[in-house]
Amino acid sequence: MALYDAVSDLPVRIDEATLARRERDTSSGFERVTTVVSLSGDGQTGKGEDVTYEATDHDALLEAGVPGPTGEYTIEEFSTRLDDLELFPDGPSREDFRHYRRWAFESAALDLALRQADTDLASALDREYDPVRFVVSTRLGEPPTVDRVERFLAIDPDLEFKLDATAEWTDELVEELTETGSVRVIDLKGQYRTEEVDLGQSTDPDLYRRVLEGFPDAIVEDPALTNETRPVLEGHEERISWDAPITGIESVEALPFEPRVLNVKPSRFGSIEALFATIDYCGERGIEMYGGGQFELDVGRGQIQALASLFYPDSANDVAPGGYNDPEVVEGLPRSPLNPPEQGSGFRW
């Protein structure tokens, strides 16, 4: 049975919807703002998190209020209802934010439906939660150094990393990072330009060559495909993963070659149906998946951990607890793998 079929007919009653703002400084040098969407009914509350990146979009929603998705539905009917609601009172700053906000409402509805049914997502899907391995996703400062990685490893020598490669990476830095034996994913962020975002990433073929040769066992994520980089990437297709372009099955099929590994970020899909259909698709074709995060500050982090636990627990999951995104490296953070809760409830950890 398709994954979505197991939850699409779950009934959900929504009597009230509320919003709450969250904000926090991050290790990437910006203040993260998100909005928690809470849907309540029958004495239960379901939550989701809007990970839209522009604070002004969050401010506009909080000022306008929730656009009234109350009533009795199935999960599929609620998803259809969202088609008729304007979730951005002033229009989104970027079109992909529509998926991010829709995911907040859909995940909140699923959480509520499961709680009203006195069950959790694992039980609904007839699966079990497994311990989740995670990587720490970080940049290395300006100028980049190995210092942040070494500070983490001094606390936990078994930590693994997903690192953003930049134009300033030298041969010496790559060698230092390689010697740690802890790098599982290198993110080139070459596809973010298609989202009207320029994160200052380099498409220099020398950087690509440096990364591919310096980290022969690492996954290489989101390269930009140019006349200069394609020859460098040739022969490494099985190591190349995609993140920013992946929003559903059609986006996977539109890739320049059949992927062997993909980064699955639920918020990029917008709907539960699109996410679950893509997970089914990848499973049928032997495409490895790993979870991705969007600097979630609240319930959204636990939800991506729950999905990783159910579908790709041993992968290079970018789902580390939020403390790993703080500017300062501190002791006492949970270690990988994360153990699932003893008693699950709803769509949450």
Q: What is the mean pLDDT of residues 199-220?
A: 89
Ranked by mean pLDDT, the top range of 139-143, 198-202, 251-255 is 251-255
| The predicted structure's pLDDT at residue 344 | 81
Q: What is the mean pLDDT of residues 338-342?
A: 92
Task: Band the pLDDT of 197: cuts 50, 70, 90.
Answer: very low
Task: Band the pLDDT of 201: cuts 50, 70, 90.
Answer: low
pLDDT digits (tens, 9 = 90+) for 177-193: 999 999 999 999 998 75
| The predicted structure's pLDDT at residue 323 | 92
Q: Provide the CATH topology of domain 3-123.
A: Enolase-like; domain 1 (3.30.390)
Whose CA is closest to 214, among 180, 177, 248, 250?
177
Query: Which residues, listed in sequence order, are joined to residue 37 by a DSSP beta bridge?
Result: 19, 48
Whose CA is closest to 288, among 233, 232, 227, 219?
219
Assign residue 230 a region: left if phi > 0, alpha if psi is -120 to 50, beta otherwise? alpha
Beta strand ranges found along 178-309 (DSSP E): 183-187, 219-221, 240-242, 261-264, 288-291
Measured CA to CA, the distance from residue 66 to residue 89 in angstroms comes to: 10
Lowest mean pLDDT across 154-163, 169-178, 265-274, 319-328: 319-328
- 8 A C-beta contact, residue 28 and residue 293: no
| The predicted structure's pLDDT at residue 202 | 75
Mean pLDDT of the residues in the chain: 94
| The predicted structure's pLDDT at residue 29 | 73
Whose CA is closest to 19, among 37, 7, 34, 3?
37
Domain chopping of the chain, boundaries: 3-123, 126-325
User: What is the pTM for the complete model shown?
Assistant: 0.95
| The predicted structure's pLDDT at residue 181 | 97
- The torsion angles phi and psi of 138, rounded to 5 degrees, stand at -160, 160
- 8 A C-beta contact, residue 146 and residue 176: yes
pLDDT digits (tens, 9 = 90+) for 63-107: 999 887 899 999 999 999 999 999 999 899 999 999 999 999 999
| The predicted structure's pLDDT at residue 196 | 39
Report the share of the chain in percent with pLDDT over 90.
Answer: 90
Report the share of the chain in percent with pLDDT over 70.
Answer: 97
- 8 A C-beta contact, residue 287 and residue 259: yes
Measured CA to CA, the distance from residue 144 to residue 320 in angstroms comes to: 22
| The predicted structure's pLDDT at residue 194 | 40
Q: Provide the CATH topology of domain 126-325.
A: TIM Barrel (3.20.20)
| The predicted structure's pLDDT at residue 69 | 87
Q: What is the mean pLDDT of residues 116-123?
A: 97
Q: What is the mean pLDDT of residues 118-136?
A: 97
Tell me the CA end-to-end span of the chain in Å, nearest whole number: 25
Task: Band the pLDDT of 268: cuts 50, 70, 90.
Answer: very high
**Higher per-residue confidence, 343 vs 189:** 189
- 8 A C-beta contact, residue 319 and residue 136: no
Measured CA to CA, the distance from residue 1 to residue 186 in angstroms comes to: 35
Measured CA to CA, the distance from residue 54 to residue 97 in angstroms comes to: 9
Q: What is the mean pLDDT of residues 301-306?
A: 98
Distance of CA 167 to the CA centre of its chain: 24
